[in-house]
Chains A and B, each alone.
Chain A
Amino acid sequence: MSMVDDARLDSQASDADVLLRVEGIKVHFPIKRGIFFDKTIGHVYAVDGVDLQIRRGETYGLVGESGCGKSTLGRAILNLEHPTEGHVRFDGVDIASLKGEDLRRKRQDLQMVFQDPLSSLDPRQSVESILVEGMKAHGIAKDAKEARPRLRELLQAVGLPIQALSKYPHEFSGGQRQRIGIARALSVNPKLIVADEPVSALDVSVQAQVINLLADLQEEFGLTYLVIAHDLAVVRHISDRIGVMYLGAIAEEAPAAELYETPLHPYTRALLSAVPIPDPVVEDTREQILLTGDLPSPSAPPAGCRFHTRCPWRQPTRCEDERPALRVVEIDGVTAEHKVACHWAEQIHSGELQPHAVEPVAVDPSALSGNVEPVAIDASPLGPDGRRTP
């Protein structure tokens, strides 16, 4: 790490608290075409400039709809996807620059829990072998025999019987498989666990079991979580702070309760109002902000504010040509922890600006699979933000 970096890290307050610091991370996937020559004809801007900090012992929730880049961001943090640009500092070490053996060793501290427990567990490995594999790789145990006491502990922690060790993944129910996935992540004593949609493949009655388990384990082992999910109710329930993503960038970030009480970004407001609430009294009375149209293609994101094509509060100035930065706003009752990327957050909050009708714009998802608009072949130089200036 350079001296400049050190100085900057020192200058930022409560640094010892911060376990993970993501700075200006970008993940762009090239779109290639051609049989003999893989010509790059454009990029999918999956993650396009994200800064975030996760403190020790907290749960950071990342929400957004499919295609917003939340999973890619999670993978980039673990260096499962190599970031195009930016840094991921974990305990002061830049993960994004690690390679080979160093990266492999570091993985002990960062573990992942996947969405689909069946496809993320090897069907031909017994539970014991699944759990011991990571421990052997990181020198925690030499063999299964040595690992026994630890295995017992792990199974107890995730609420599985000791007999589970000799069974195979197909012998368990969905909820139990997710417990095995969690036990595997825990087996190497990680500091951070990235959970990508940990409960969305489970039945509703079982979801609560896994949510409670995650909370218990956090308390017991002092874990830090990054939970990625599309279900806002789940994220609100387990997170301390929440980041709302839209098209590769964070639109709003706030402590969980504050985000739900005073959403400032128009997208957050629409998102919150769209979640069905299991209470007819609430459903009958609350106001819904219905968004028109679909998420624009991340291979040709709109200029300016990413959300302006669907925003009911869109203004004739700034929204279309100036990309809003994530900033702290001065509004009564809004803390400095609450950041929003909207030019007009104050005016929208005060009611000075009122929503208007939006004409839906048709989005062609085949643009994602390679049929990009000619714009993507633009040869103009890359702008400072990494995107081409037209």
Chain B
Amino acid sequence: MAYSSTRPVADRDRPLLSVEDLTVTFGRQGEEPFRAVDGVSFTVRPGQTVGLVGESGCGKSVTSLAIMGLLPKRGNTVGGRVDFEGTDLLSLGDAELRNRRGKDLAMVFQDPLSSLNPVVPVGLQVTEVLERHRGMSRKAAMPVAADLLSRVGIPDPNRRVKDYPHQMSGGMRQRALVAIALACAPRLLIADEPTTALDVTIQAQILALLKELVEETGTALIMITHDLGVVAGLCDEVNVLYGGRIVERGPRHPIFREPRHPYTNGLLDSIPRLDTVGERLTPIPGSVADNLPWDHACAFAPRCSQPVEICTQTTPDLVTNGDRALRCHNPVEVPR
């Protein structure tokens, strides 16, 4: 797939996106406000694939929506800074944000059926982006749209541009979404559980496609998933989230080989692996409902396999050491 970006590739060591101390709080009627994302910071360099991993309710999706400015206007407060090539995205107004969304940063969602417009042909949904951001006429944009669909592996694209979303299979719809996201060759692509609704063989196709596109276009990718297997095959850097905070960060190989946080370690112990013989699994006890508030404790302490007294008294800080970062009072010492 030859994919030419018109822009020169930026300096690969300078961060493209830097999220600093991002906090999202949802107000609740008659209750204490809920802090879904609690001081999350990370950077993404051009061409890098960064994973945000965690279970439901860890704040991974809210983080991505906050970066894209897609959270609802009311009922929440967003704090911190989201620096994208020198601009704080959080300070931009609606019109400015619309000029950048779809052009400089794009997003692929989990459920392709609910993120495509059911009454508009798929081809038109691709040309929409081209018309809006590149000022192309619909007539000129249509062949480009067909070309994009063929690049993401949709057979017979000239006929498929006229198809409505319901006429496509799940994998095909997800490919169409990827085509829409890549229409303007964005520098940052956020994929929020892009394969969770798909079958494994289709998942493998979409992941291979994303990998290929990232390598060829130099687009940076933020991959949001709960599946450690997906992360292991795709991400350069992994951020593990728990209860709205990053608890561990590291490059792909070390974090899987030597997880330091008991949560990361526990996750790896609790999932059955296809390539090993079935020993008894070691589950993480309890559920996310058992979390302690971060204010004066480690949220994970009630489910932790090795809590110490301080865990329920003081909040652990995220301590950076080289390319690893860890938020834990009593980290796992033994390598796996």
Residues of A within 8 A of B (CB): 65-66, 173-176, 203-209, 211-212, 215, 230, 232-234, 236-238, 256-257, 260, 270-284, 288, 290-295, 359-366
B281 x A237 contact (CB < 8 A): yes
Given known A208-B283, A294-B169, contact A276–B272 (CB-CB < 8 A): no
* Given A206-B287, A278-B256, A288-B204, CB of A238 within 8 Å of CB of B278: yes
Stretch at the interface among B13-21, B263-271, B312-320: B263-271
CB pairs A–B below 8 angstroms (28 shown): A203-B287, A205-B270, A206-B287, A207-B271, A208-B281, A208-B283, A208-B284, A212-B280, A212-B283, A234-B272, A236-B278, A270-B201, A271-B201, A272-B274, A275-B200, A276-B232, A277-B232, A277-B275, A279-B232, A279-B273, A283-B233, A288-B204, A290-B208, A291-B205, A294-B172, A365-B170, A366-B166, A366-B167
How distant is B160 from chain A, measured CB to nearest CB, in Å?
7
The docked-state distance in angstroms from the alpha carbon of A206 to that of B266 is 11
Interface class of chain A by DSSP: helix
Known: A234-B272, A281-B253, A290-B204. A212 touches B289 (CB 8 A): no
Give every chain B residue within 8 A of A284 (Cβ-Cβ).
233
Closest CB pairs A-B (n = 7): A276-B229, A208-B283, A237-B272, A274-B204, A278-B228, A283-B233, A65-B199
Inter-chain contact B271/A208, CB cutoff 8 Å: yes
**Shortest Cβ distance from residue A87 to the other chain B in the assembled complex, whole angstroms:** 30
- Given A276-B229, A278-B231, the answer on whether A208 and B270 have CB atoms closer than 8 Å is yes
Q: Report the separation of the CA atoms of residues A237 and B277 in the bound assembly, to the nearest whole angstrom.
A: 7
B56 at the interface (CB under 8 A from A): yes
Instruction: Give the residue name and chain of the A residue nearest to B231 (CB).
Output: A278
Whole-angstrom distance between the Cβ of B176 and the nearest chain A Cβ = 13
- Of the candidates B205, B266, B303, the one having the most CB atoms from chain A within 10 angstroms of its own CB is B205
Q: Which residues of B contact A272 (CB under 8 A)?
A: 274
State in angstroms the CA–CA spacing of A215 and B281 once bound together: 11
Question: Contacts A206-B284, A290-B201, A294-B169 given; 8 further ones with Cβ under 8 A?
Answer: A173-B287, A203-B287, A204-B227, A208-B283, A236-B272, A280-B233, A280-B253, A294-B171
Q: How far is the CA of A233 from the CA of B228 in the complex (A)?
A: 13
Q: A174-B287, A175-B287 are in contact. Are A212 and B253 (CB under 8 A)?
A: no
Are B256 and A280 within 8 A (Cβ)?
Answer: yes
B271 touches A362 (CB 8 A): no
| Complex Cα gap A257–B199 (Å) | 22
Q: Is the CB of B230 within 8 A of A276?
A: yes
Shortest distance in angstroms between A52's beta carbon and chain B's nearest beta carbon?
Answer: 21
Known: A65-B201, A205-B55, A274-B204. A233 touches B271 (CB 8 A): yes
Query: Are the C-beta atoms of B199 and A362 separated by less than 8 Å?
Result: no
Provide the residues of chain A in CB contact with B266, threshold 8 Å.
205
B282 at interface by CB-CB < 8 Å: yes
Shortest B284–chain A CB gap in Å is 4
B100 CB–A CB distance under 8 Å: no
* Residue of A whose beta carbon sits closest to that of B283: A208
B207: nearest residue on chain A (CB-CB)?
A276
Contact present for B271 and A278 (CB under 8 Å): yes
Q: Mark B154-186, 1 if CB is under 8 A from A, else 0.
A: 111000100000111111100000000000000
The CA of A282 and the CA of B256, in the complex, are separated in Å by: 11
| A294 vs B169: C-alpha distance when bound (angstroms) | 7
A294 proximity list for chain B (CB < 8 A): 169-172, 202
- CB–CB A365/B203 < 8 A: no
The answer to whether the Cβ of B101 comes within 8 Å of any Cβ in the partner chain is: no
Residue in contact with A365 in the complex, picked from B154, B169, B231, B278, CB distance below 8 Å: B169
From B199, B273, B284, give the contact of A278 (CB < 8 A).
B273
Residue of A nearest to B229 (CB): A276
Contacts of B201 in A (CB 8 A): 65, 270-271, 274, 290-291
Does B153 lie at the interface of the complex (its beta carbon under 8 Å from any beta carbon of A)?
yes
The residue on B at minimum CB distance from A260 is B274
Determine how close the nearest CB of chain A comes to the CB of B75; give it in whole angstroms. Answer: 23
Give, as a whole number of angstroms, the nearest-CB distance from A200 to chain B: 11
Chain A residues with Cβ under 8 A from B133's Cβ? Answer: none
Give Cα distance in the complex from A277 to B227, angstroms: 9
Q: Decide: B275 and A282 in contact? CB cutoff 8 A.
A: yes
- A277: chain B residues at CB < 8 Å are 229, 232-233, 273-275
- Taking CB atoms, residues of chain B closer than 8 Å to A276 are 203-204, 207, 227, 229-230, 232-233
Do A206 and B274 form a contact, CB below 8 Å, given A280-B253, A283-B233? no
Interface residues in B236-291 by Cβ distance below 8 A to A read 252-253, 256-257, 266-275, 277-278, 280-285, 287-289
Which residues of chain B (58-88) have a CB below 8 Å from chain A?
A: none
Q: Is the CB of B229 within 8 A of A365?
A: no
Least Cβ distance of A174 to chain B in Å? 7
B187 part of interface (Cβ distance < 8 Å)? no
Beyond A232-B200, A277-B232, A365-B166, is A205–B267 a contact (Cβ under 8 Å)? yes
Q: Which residue of B lies closest to A270 (CB)?
A: B201
Residues in B whose Cβ lies below 8 Å from that of A280 = 232-233, 252-253, 256
Q: Which residues of B contact A274 (CB under 8 A)?
A: 200-201, 203-204
B327 is an interface residue with CB less than 8 A from chain A: no
B107 CB to nearest A CB, Å? 22
Closest residue of A by beta carbon distance from B253 = A280
Which A residues are in CB contact (< 8 Å) with B272? Answer: 208, 211, 233-234, 236-238
B58 → chain A, closest Cβ, in Å?
Answer: 10
**Is B226's beta carbon under 8 Å from chain A?**
yes
Chain A residues whose CB sits within 8 angstroms of the CB of B253 once the complex forms: 280-281
Whole-angstrom CA separation of A236 from B200 in the bound complex? 15
Q: Are B227 and A208 in contact (CB under 8 A)?
A: no
Least CB distance from A364 to B in Å reads 6
Q: Tell me the minimal C-beta distance from A50 to chain B in angstroms.
A: 20
A207, A230, A260, A365: which contacts B167 (Cβ < 8 A)? A365
Q: Are A290 and B200 in contact (CB under 8 A)?
A: no
